[in-house]
Amino acid sequence: MDYQQVINNIYHEVKSLPVVGEVADYIPALANVDPDQFGIAIATIDGQTFGIGDYQCKFSIQSISKAFTLSMVIRHIGSQLWEYVGKEPSGTPFNSLVQLERENGIPRNPFINAGALVVTDKLMNLYTHPKEAILEFVREMAGTDDIYYDKTVAQSELKCANRNQALGYFMKSFNNIDNDVDALLDVYCHQCSISMTCEELAKSFLFLANHGINPHSQKEILSVSRSKRLNALMLTCGFYDESGEFAFRVGMPGKSGVGGGIIALIPGQLAIAVWSPRLNKYGNSYLGIETLERFTTDIGISIF
Ligand code: GLU
């Protein structure tokens, strides 16, 4: 399969679509990003990489980080986590509060903000220096040390974190958060601020495309069964209230972020990252989804 040719064709097709969507501006630092950047990168488990457009530009991975922190926590505490967070699609926006009261402070899944806060809270119980541990994990998965927090984005998000603070305090009132909420928000806003390129992102998700084994080092990161579960959650919950539509159109597990990035993968083969900051009404990259839909359609391979 000539992946370079496939993504070249898609890149040019998608780039000529009418310009729609807005960048996320509820985090002020994200509003300053040039909205018309667009990159695609593929990494295969046999070590090849392909890219086009702005695939080597760093951008804010935002909620894509939730898949990293979930992997770190699942790795240590496994199924105990499901006492504190569910595994069902929420059908609500990423920062919604509505289900939490009815469901006794247990978020629907680890990829909505409430669920990700619970996961980060557990991570803080596991590591004395959680911010360092997250960065170390991401660097190991990507196979490069050139990955950092974007302090400007982290501070900007922390200043405007009223909704996430509300989620944190509300869940704490149900005893579902162990740590101090401000300390939790600090770690969470930092994990969201991680800056990566499409190429680094594609490489860093290969362990989930490779049944839990990091193909760079051959080290087991997750068991086969836990890797399967992580992918299942990305398929059912990775795109908030657009998760069903994404599975229907694209047919790959994946995770989006409001920085405009999307990571998706085909187990046994590859990971693909797309970045385009203009978002649709669900907070997912408009061109990112267009690209991935064309990708699985053009190559005729998805997980189904
Ligand atoms: N940092 C963002 C927030 O908590 C993440 C949202 C996202 O990327 O979907 O609001």
**Residue 183 scores a pLDDT above 90:** yes
Ligand 1 contact via 95 beta carbon (within 6 Å): yes
Measured CA to CA, the distance from residue 268 to residue 210 in angstroms comes to 5
Ligand 1 contact via 192 beta carbon (within 6 Å): yes
Rounded to the nearest angstrom, the gap between the alpha carbon of residue 9 and the centroid of all alpha carbons in its chain is: 25
Domain layout of the chain by residue ranges: 3-299
Report H helices in the chain. Answer: 3-15, 28-31, 65-77, 98-102, 113-126, 130-142, 151-159, 162-173, 181-193, 198-204, 206-209, 224-237, 243-249, 286-299
* 127 given a catalytic annotation: no
Question: Which residue out of 3, 55, 149, 188 is catalytically annotated?
Answer: 188
Question: Which residue out of 3, 55, 66, 71 is catalytically annotated?
Answer: 66
Residue bearing the CA closest to ligand 1, atom 6: 63
* 63 given a catalytic annotation: yes
Question: Which residue out of 60, 63, 90, 156 is catalytically annotated?
Answer: 63
Residue bearing the CA closest to ligand 1, atom 4: 113
Architecture of domain 3-299: 3-Layer(aba) Sandwich (3.40)
pLDDT digits (tens, 9 = 90+) for 45-73: 999 999 999 999 999 999 999 999 999 99
pLDDT of residue 69: 98
Ligand 1 contact via 258 beta carbon (within 6 Å): yes
Ligand 1 contact via 59 beta carbon (within 6 Å): no
Q: Is the pTM of this model over 0.85?
A: yes
What is the 97 CA–ligand 1 centroid distance (Å)?
14
pLDDT digits (tens, 9 = 90+) for 108-165: 999 999 999 999 999 999 999 999 999 999 999 999 999 999 999 999 999 999 999 9
pLDDT digits (tens, 9 = 90+) for 184-233: 999 999 999 999 999 999 999 999 999 999 999 999 999 999 999 999 99
Query: Crossing angle, helix 65-77 and helix 224-237, to 10 degrees?
Result: 140
Rounded to the nearest angstrom, the gap between the alpha carbon of residue 280 and the centroid of all alpha carbons in its chain is: 16
Is residue 171 packed enough to be buried (19+ CB in 10 Å), middle (13-18) or exposed (0-12)?
buried
**Residue among 38, 85, 20 nearest 237 (CA):** 85
Residue 41 dihedral angles phi and psi, to the nearest 5°: -140, 145
* 258 given a catalytic annotation: yes
Average pLDDT, the chain: 96
What is the 95 CA–ligand 1 centroid distance (Å)?
8
Q: Pick the range with the lowest mean pLDDT from 25-34, 63-72, 266-275.
A: 25-34
Average pLDDT over residues 4-28: 95
* 84 given a catalytic annotation: no
**Residue 105 scores a pLDDT above 90:** yes
Ligand 1 contact via 94 beta carbon (within 6 Å): yes
